[in-house]
Amino acid sequence: MPSFTVAVPNLQSIGPIVEIRIAVPQAVEAILVSSGQPVPSPVPMAAMIDTGASGTVIQAGVAARLGLHPVGVVAINTPSSTGVLCPQYAVRLIFPNNVVGEAVIIEAPLAGQHIQGLVGRDVLSQAVLVYIGYTNQFTVSF
């Protein structure tokens, strides 16, 4: 079972933050390669493992950096707003230890946050999350 473990200085105050990379889906990469077009480099970002988020979210602007086109639109609720319309994108998520998964994620504003993304329950539904507060570590296994 592919997995990764992350240690943070203070898990309680910082949260379960993991450095991930967002890339074009494997099928899109294959089309680009076969047609001789350049494949965009994955975009690195700090993401929080968030069991309170129903969907995985990336910061606004990331999809454009990868040349992605929306595959849908979804209304989301945030602590301060309801019914916010956000585009959805098919992406490849690259976690530490080259743990890779594909998902349809939401692009939403995350201004003022110390993160650029959230890994939500849509992705976590395929995983085991072990949160070890007293050692300031967490492990995610797929």
Domain residue ranges in the chain: 3-141
Helix (H) or strand (E) holding 28: helix 26-34
Question: Mapping DSSP to helix (H, G, I), strand (E, B) and coil, where does residue 96 land?
Answer: helix
What mean pLDDT comes out for the span 60-89?
A: 91
pTM, full prediction: 0.92
Query: Beta strand 57-59 with 99-108: parallel, antiparallel or unpaired?
Result: parallel
Produce one character per residue of 104-129: b if its CB has 16 or more CB atoms within 10 Å, e if not: ebbbbebeeeebbbbbbeebbeebee
Inform me whether the pLDDT recorded for 9 exceeds 80: yes
What mean pLDDT comes out for the span 25-37?
A: 96
Rg for the chain, CA atoms, rounded: 15
CATH code for residues 3-141:
2.40.70.10
Q: Lowest mean pLDDT of 30-39, 40-49, 103-112, 125-134, name the range.
A: 103-112
- 136, 8 contact by CB (below 8 A): yes
What mean pLDDT comes out for the span 17-44?
A: 97
Q: Which of 29, 10, 8, 14 is nearest to 94 (CA)?
A: 29
The band of 83, judged by pLDDT with boundaries at 50, 70 and 90, is confident
Which stretches does DSSP call E strand in the chain?
3-7, 17-23, 43-49, 57-59, 72-76, 84-95, 99-108, 117-119, 128-132, 137-141
Give pLDDT, residue 29: 96
Give pLDDT, residue 127: 97
Give pLDDT, residue 33: 96
- For residues 73 and 10, give the distance between their C-alpha atoms in angstroms, rounded to a whole number: 36
